[in-house]
C-alpha cells in the first residue's frame, strides 16, 4: 500500500481517516459554538438553494410550501459547508496539479461518446431522480451514509445498502455492456 | 458572515480538500465502485466511518454532543435509497461530490447540480403526497443499531471494525 496514488493523490484510507477526525471535530465545534450538534451532510442544502432560487420568481409559493417551510430556506451552516467543499477542492486540485477542465467524464465518453448534450441530459435526469430519492430517505451518502453510520443509526446502514444496491444494478446495466 | 456560516465554511473547505486529495470527487471513481472495479470511494468512506464512530461514541457517552439519528421510515429509506442509487449511477456524483468536482475543474458537474436542484424543487411539490402515502407505511423512528440489537455500542463498533477491515483486506488482495 502506498502513501500516494499514481496521480499524486493521498492514500484513500488516510484521507478518509482524516475526514473521520474532521467529522468528530465538527460535531464538537458545532455543539460548543452553535449550541447544537450538526453532522456533515449536503442534500438539504439543495432544497434550500432550490427554495432561494424559486423565491426570486415566486416568493409566495415558497412561503406557502410545506416542505420549504419544514426545511427552512436560509443560508445556514450546511449551506456554507457545501460552498466550502468547492473551495477546498479547488485549492486541493491546484496544489497538486490535478485541476483539469473536463467536459465529459472518461467512463461516460467510452459508453456514450463525447456529446456534451447527451451528458447534460443524463446528469440532469439522474440528478433529479437522485435528489428526490435523497430527500425521501432524508439524506445522501454524506448525511445518511457517512454521518448516519458514524452514529450507528439503523437508517444509515439501510440507506447506504440501498444507495449502493441501486447504483450497482443500474451502473452494470448502463456502463457494463461493451460498446458495439 | 455569521459565526454559524463561518464555521460551516471552514469545515467545508477542509472536507472538500480531503475529498479532493482522496480522489473521490471523480465521476469515474463513483461509477468505478458501482461497477466493482475501483473501490477508492469505499476505502475513503469506510475509513472515515471507522475513525469517526469511535470519537462520536466517546463524545456522546460523555454527553458532550447529542446524536441525531435520521428516522428509520421503512418506505422512505427503501424507496428513497433505491431511487437515489438509480440516479447516482447515471449522474455519477452524489450531492457533496458534485460541488467538489466542479471545484477541481470537472465543469460538467454543473449539469448534475442543476438536475439535483430540479429534483429538490420537484420533491418540495410532491412532499404532501409522499407524506400522506409512503411516509405513513411504517416508521421505526430515530433508532440506533445498539439499542435495536440490545447490545453495548462498543460491541457494534468492534464488530464493524472487524467486518470493514475484512473488506479492506479483500480490496487490497483483489487490487480494487
Residue the block writes with cell 467512463: A107
| Three-class SS state of A135 | helix
Flag whether the ipTM exceeds 0.90. Answer: yes
Q: How far is B162 from chain A (nearest CA, A)?
A: 15
Amino acid A5: pLDDT: 85
Q: Where do the structural domains in chain A lie, given as residue ranges?
A: 1-39, 40-100
**Does A146 contact B48 at a Cβ distance shorter than 8 Å?**
yes
The answer to whether the CB of A86 falls within 8 A of the CB of B95 is no
Average pLDDT on B45-74 reads 97
For B97, nearest residue in chain A (alpha carbons): A85
Q: List the 37-56 stretch of A: residues with Cβ below 8 A of B.
A: 37, 39-40, 42-43, 45-47, 49-51, 53-54
Rounded distance, CA A169 to CA A49, Å? 30
Which domain does B108 fall in, by range? 3-173
**Does B19 contact A89 at a Cβ distance shorter than 8 Å?**
yes
Amino acid A178: pLDDT: 57
* Contact with chain A for residue B176, Cβ under 8 A: no
**Does B13 contact A84 at a Cβ distance shorter than 8 Å?**
yes
| pLDDT bracket for residue B84 (50, 70, 90) | very high
Q: How far is B115 from chain A (nearest CA, A)?
A: 4
Amino acid A167: pLDDT: 97
Q: Supply B104's cell numbers.
A: 477541481
Q: Where are the beta strands (DSSP E) in B67-165?
A: none
Percent of chain A with pLDDT over 90: 93
Backbone region of residue B141 per phi and psi (left: phi > 0; alpha: psi in -120 to 50; beta: other values): left
Percent of chain A with pLDDT over 70: 98
Q: How far is A177 from chain B (nearest CA, A)?
A: 11
Average pLDDT on B33-54 reads 97
| pLDDT bracket for residue A180 (50, 70, 90) | very low
* Closest by Cβ to B95, choosing from A53, A101, A140: A140
| Per-residue pLDDT tens digits for B156-175 | 999 999 999 999 999 999 98
Amino acid A177: pLDDT: 67
Q: How far is A72 from chain B (nearest CA, A)?
A: 12
Average pLDDT on A89-116 reads 96
For A130, nearest residue in chain B (alpha carbons): B84
**Does A102 contact B108 at a Cβ distance shorter than 8 Å?**
yes
Backbone region of residue A97 per phi and psi (left: phi > 0; alpha: psi in -120 to 50; beta: other values): left
| Per-residue pLDDT tens digits for B111-127 | 999 999 999 999 999 99
Report whether pLDDT(B48) > 50: yes
Q: Which residues contact B62 (CB under 8 A, 6 or more apart)?
A: none
Report whether pLDDT(A111) > 90: yes
Amino acid A8: pLDDT: 87
* Contact with chain A for residue B130, Cβ under 8 A: yes
* Closest by Cβ to A12, choosing from B44, B104, B120: B44
Q: How many CB atoms lie within 10 A of CB B22?
A: 29
Q: How far is A159 from chain B (nearest CA, A)?
A: 5
**Does A155 contact B71 at a Cβ distance shorter than 8 Å?**
yes
Nearest to residue B70, comparing CAs of B83, B84, B80, B61?
B80
Prediction pTM value: 0.96
* Contact with chain A for residue B35, Cβ under 8 A: yes
* Cβ contacts from A onto B, under 8 A: 529
Residue the block writes with cell 472495479: B37
Give the DSSP letter string of chain B: --HHHHHHHHHHHHHHHHHHHTT-S-HHHHHHHHTTS--HHHHHHHHHHHHHHHHHHHHHHTTSS---PPP-BHHHHHHHHHHHHHHHHHH---HHHHHHHHHTT-TTHHHHHHHHHHHHHHHHHHHHHHHHTGGGS-B--S-BHHHHHTS-HHHHHHHHHHHHHHHHHHHHHTT-
DSSP H/E element including A63: helix A59-64
Residues of A in contact with B52 (CB under 8 A): 19-21, 23-24, 146, 150
CA angle A133, B102, A120 (to 5 degrees): 60
* Contact with chain B for residue A58, Cβ under 8 A: no
| Per-residue pLDDT tens digits for A136-161 | 999 999 999 999 999 999 999 999 99
Nearest to residue B33, comparing CAs of B48, B21, B45?
B45
Report whether pLDDT(A179) > 60: no
Residues of A in contact with B121 (CB under 8 A): 50, 53-54
| CA distances, A143 to each of A81, B38, B147 (Å) | 12, 23, 21
Domain count, chain B: 1
DSSP letter at A7 equals T
Residues of B in contact with A104 (CB under 8 A): 108
Supply the angle between the helices A43-57 and B95-103 in degrees, to the nearest 10: 80
Average pLDDT on B76-84 reads 97
| CA distances, A89 to each of A121, A128, B42, B109, B162 (Å) | 25, 24, 19, 13, 32
The answer to whether the CB of A93 falls within 8 A of the CB of B19 is no
DSSP letter at B133 equals T
Amino acid A132: pLDDT: 98
Q: How many CB atoms lie within 10 A of CB A64?
A: 10
**Does B50 contact A20 at a Cβ distance shorter than 8 Å?**
yes
Amino acid at each position: 500500500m502506498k502513501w500516494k496514488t499514481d496521480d499524486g493523490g493521498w492514500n484513500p484510507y488516510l484521507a478518509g481517516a482524516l475526514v473521520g477526525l474532521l467529522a468528530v471535530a465538527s460535531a464538537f465545534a458545532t455543539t460548543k459554538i452553535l449550541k447544537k450538534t450538526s453532522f456533515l451532510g449536503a442534500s438539504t442544502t439543495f432544497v434550500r438553494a432550490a427554495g432561494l432560487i424559486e423565491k426570486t420568481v415566486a416568493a409566495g409559493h415558497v412561503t406557502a410550501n410545506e416542505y420549504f417551510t419544514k426545511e427552512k430556506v436560509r443560508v445556514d451552516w450546511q449551506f456554507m459547508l457545501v460552498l466550502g467543499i468547492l473551495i477546498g477542492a479547488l485549492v486541493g486540485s491546484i496544489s497538486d496539479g490535478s485541476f483539469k477542465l473536463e467536459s465529459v467524464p472518461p467512463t461516460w465518453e467510452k459508453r456514450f461518446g463525447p456529446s456534451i448534450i447527451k451528458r447534460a441530459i443524463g446528469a440532469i435526469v439522474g440528478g433529479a431522480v437522485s435528489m428526490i430519492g435523497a430527500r425521501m430517505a432524508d439524506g445522501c451518502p454524506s448525511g445518511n451514509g457517512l454521518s448516519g453510520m458514524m452514529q450507528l443509526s439503523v437508517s444509515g446502514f439501510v440507506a447506504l445498502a440501498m444507495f449502493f444496491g441501486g447504483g450497482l444494478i443500474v451502473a452494470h446495466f448502463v456502463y457494463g455492456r461493451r460498446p458495439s | 458572515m455569521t459565526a454559524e456560516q463561518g464555521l460551516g465554511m471552514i469545515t467545508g473547505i477542509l472536507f472538500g480538500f480531503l475529498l479532493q486529495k482522496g480522489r473521490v470527487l471523480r465521476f469515474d471513481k463513483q461509477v468505478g465502485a458501482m461497477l466493482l472495479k475501483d473501490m477508492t470511494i469505499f476505502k475513503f468512506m469506510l475509513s472515515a466511518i471507522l475513525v469517526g464512530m469511535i470519537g462520536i461514541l466517546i463524545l456522546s457517552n460523555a454527553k458532550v454532543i447529542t446524536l441525531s439519528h435520521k428516522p428509520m421510515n421503512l418506505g422512505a429509506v427503501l424507496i428513497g435509497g433505491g431511487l437515489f442509487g438509480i440516479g447516482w449511477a447515471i449522474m455519477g456524483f452524489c450531492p457533496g461530490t458534485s460541488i467538489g468536482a466542479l471545484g477541481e475543474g470537472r465543469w460538467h458537474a454543473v449539469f448534475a447540480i442543476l438536475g439535483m436542484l430540479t429534483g429538490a424543487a420537484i420533491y418540495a411539490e410532491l412532499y404532501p403526497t409522499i407524506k400522506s402515502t409512503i411516509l405513513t407505511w411504517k416508521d421505526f423512528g430515530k433508532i440506533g443499531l445498539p439499542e435495536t440489537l440490545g447490545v453495548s455500542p462498543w460491541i457494534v463498533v468492534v464488530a464493524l471494525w472487524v467486518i470493514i477491515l475484512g473488506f479492506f483486506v479483500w480490496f487490497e488482495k483483489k487490487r480494487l
